[in-house]
Structure 1
Amino acid sequence: MTGIVIDRALRAQCQTFLQGHGAVTPRIWMERMLAMPEMDLPGDEYGAGPTVTALQDQVAGLLGKPAALFFHKAVVGQQAVLFAHRERTGRRLVAVHPQSHIAIDETDAVERLSDIRLARIGPDDAPFTLADLQGIHEPLAAVVVELPLRNAGFRATSWTELVAISQWCRDQGIAFHLDGARLWETQPWYGRTLAEIAALADSVYVSLYKGLGAPGGAIIAGPADLLAMATPWRSRMGGNLYSAFPYILGGLDGLRRFLPRMADYHAHAMALAAALDERDAPRAADRVMCNSFRLVWPVDASALADILAMTARTDRFWAFGRVVPLPVRDYCYTEMVVGEAAMLHAPSALADRFATWLAAARAVSAKAG
């Protein structure tokens, strides 16, 4: 995602934060960890220990999978599981969306580090469909669906389509992997349990640091034999850390602290989108399918960035770190991520604030023009 980055030095000066769970300092993380009952358990060492086992078991249970494996970073975890699917099937081609994490955010890692090739299918602004998959005429090792597609505006595959893709993969003997970077956050929109969603896939990745607020980390869940094949790749790619206790404890804390609140975050995001529709304000680009959505502003990107920077300087209010121009002239977008920080603001109050910023940005743009 390209765009105008707001001066990050301003963030350190702000007292109020809009996105996610707000500004979390190392002190706050450590204070949370010190209060945890697991703090006095033996530490983890090279991916083993009681806290690692507890985290992996909890995630496996939530997703209804036989086993789960910790990775310090999803780039490593998703490559490892794709390498395992490649080995199992003897095939090289993996279907992904052209705007997915694997295709966009990992700098071609899986193709450069292995003989796997990516088939990028579907439109840039919507999830691919079963019909798109059926247009591939070469044997596939795996199909990857990202829930939701962040780079396409946090859009998720419909349940009907997800079920159809899952069944087609099974009928064809193709591995089905869910890139669930925001699976926790999308689950309320589906209205099904995490285990029901994960049951459609052979393997699932979930993040520990996005909605769960840990300092980092990822989990891959699936059959034990598949994860056994992925485990050596964790070491081969430098991912078997001597100790990862901040990630492990942060993940356990997030499962208790933030996971039960995901439906509240989604409801708040929908309420904010509805409030914006009643004002001369930016709009949600699409139906709100998780706690996050793309906020489209009918104004020049540089003008909006100026207003956001001024707000950070004068009001000590940090809202969005980046403004991205859209192909349509005088339109841009920011990303709205609802967590504990936004829950402190009523949707109507936030909508009023955004409307004020839009008016100010239009004035700046008119003056510049």
Structure 2
Amino acid sequence: MTSIIIDRALRATCQTFLHGNGPITPRVWMERMLAMPEIELAGDEYNVGPGIDLLQAQVAGLLGKPTALFFHKAVVGQQAVLFAHRERTGRRLVAVHPKSHIAADESDAVERLSDLRLVRIGPDDAPFTLADLQGVKEPLAAVVVELPLRNAGFRAPSWEDLVAMSAWCREQGIAFHLDGARLWETQPFYGRSLAEIAALADSAYVSLYKGLGAPGGALVVGEAAFLDTLKPWRSRMGGNLYTAFPYVLGGLYGLRHFLPRMGDYHAHAAALAEALSTRDAPWAADRVMCNSFRLVWPVAAPALANALERMARVEGIWCFGRVIPLPVRGHCCTEMVVGDATMAHEPDAIADRFARLLTVARG
């Protein structure tokens, strides 16, 4: 079902933001970059430069891997990983969840651009497990686990399931890759270091723009010899940008400013879910696994979208950017992302606001 996008022009007119870090304008990005000491470094050209070197070294160190490789776009980085495993193993099959980003949000890129084939495993509303993997009877080139699984409500495997899948893949000689688009945000849920989580995988991707607030960019971490095989694929897919300094400086800023706050964001998200459970309000996840969770509203999507636009227009409050219809009649959902803007409001106050919003939507 098609999501209803809330009029983005209204966002610029709002004074109060309950979702994420609030609006980040080009001016805000430029001011952050100009305040960075790294602004004095020599510029990068075609993925070579001191800023990119510094960023790659910092991310590799945080994730406990020998090296990291910068990509302008995660879609390119993860395709490069899978194409490299295809070449290395001669195998064509990759196990993914049916609601993973690779399977659901990339216009079938992997299968249209190569002879790789995706094996979609696991239930619709939860991550797959070792039992699902063991049910695949054909040889796999790689297994991709998305942390967390956004399209299933930001769900993550248990630590025990993650360890079991990692061990099985190593026994079978199958590459284990983490789609860590929100790995930064999921780390507090596991209560283990980023390096401990990444140690389970042969390679992992992390985003610079989701949790870290950069204008864009991504990195893949792993063994140096393997990452060297990704460089030709990066070039083939248009990844040799003349300069990427906005992404690089934005990523360095995010590592410094946003990464240390991930534990606070997760705790605030859990407190908000708990506060919502005591009200006639949207239903939140029973267990919050990162700084984000899904809210289910017992009202039709158009009615909630109208109420959200009215709140933005009349009260200057921005809650969510889109409303997602659900197959259950008279129900829809939104995604709640906790960031700096959310932290300015107590969970009880936000829960009261959402309860009132539901009342307005019911009309």
Q: TM-score range by the shorter chain?
A: over 0.9
State the alpha-carbon separation in 2 of the partners of residues 208 and 111 from structure 1. 26
> Which residue number in structure 2 is paired with residue 154 of structure 1?
154
- Separation (CA, whole Å) in 1 of partners of 2:35 and 2:129: 46
- 1:68 is aligned to 68
- Where in structure 2 are the equivalents of 1:256-271 lying within 5 Å? 256-271=256-271
Query: 2:229 matched to which residue of 1?
Result: 229
Deviation at 1:183, TM superposition (A): 0.2
Alignment of 1:19-168 (within 5 A): 19-168=19-168
Residue pair 2:125, 2:153 contacting (<8 A) in 1 also: yes
Q: How far off its partner does 1:15 sit?
A: 2.1
C-alpha distance in 2 between matches for 1:208 and 1:18: 22
Tell me how far apart the structure 2 counterparts of residues 30 and 360 of structure 1 sit (CA, whole Å). Answer: 39
Aligned partners of 1:4 and 1:115: how far apart in 2?
Answer: 34
CA–CA distance in structure 1, aligned partners of residues 84 and 37 of structure 2 = 35
Query: Shift of the alpha carbon at 1:46?
Result: 0.4
For 2:227 and 2:292, how far apart are their aligned partners in 1?
30
Taking the aligned partners of 2:140 and 2:73, their CA distance within structure 1 comes to: 25
State how 1:215-364 maps to structure 2 within 5 Å: 215-363=215-363
TM-superposed CA distance for 1:350, in Å, is 0.2
| CA distance in structure 1 between the aligned counterparts of 2:354 and 2:166, rounded to whole angstroms | 40
Contiguous gaps of at least 5 residues in structure 1 = 364-369
Structure 2 residue aligned with 1:189: 189
Kept after mapping to 2: 8 A contact 1:20/1:211: no
Q: Would you say the 8 A contact 1:294–1:336 is kept in 2?
A: yes
Q: Is the 8 A contact 2:147 2:178 kept in 1?
A: yes
The alignment partner of 2:119 has SS state of strand
SS in 2 for 1:69: strand
RMSD: 0.9
Alpha-carbon deviations, 1:166-219, whole Å to 9, x = none? Answer: 000000000000000000000000000000000000000000000100000000
2:297, 2:114 → 1: CA distance? 41
Aligned partners of 1:286, 1:169: CA distance in 2, in Å? 30
Aligned to 2:15: 15
Shift of 1:12: 2.2
Match of 1:198 in 2: 198
- Equivalent position SS for 2:12: helix
Shift of 1:115: 1.2
Structure 2, gaps ≥5 residues long: none
Q: Which amino acid aligns with 2:282?
A: P
3-state SS in 2 of match to 1:30: helix
CA contact (8 A) 2:296 2:332 kept: yes
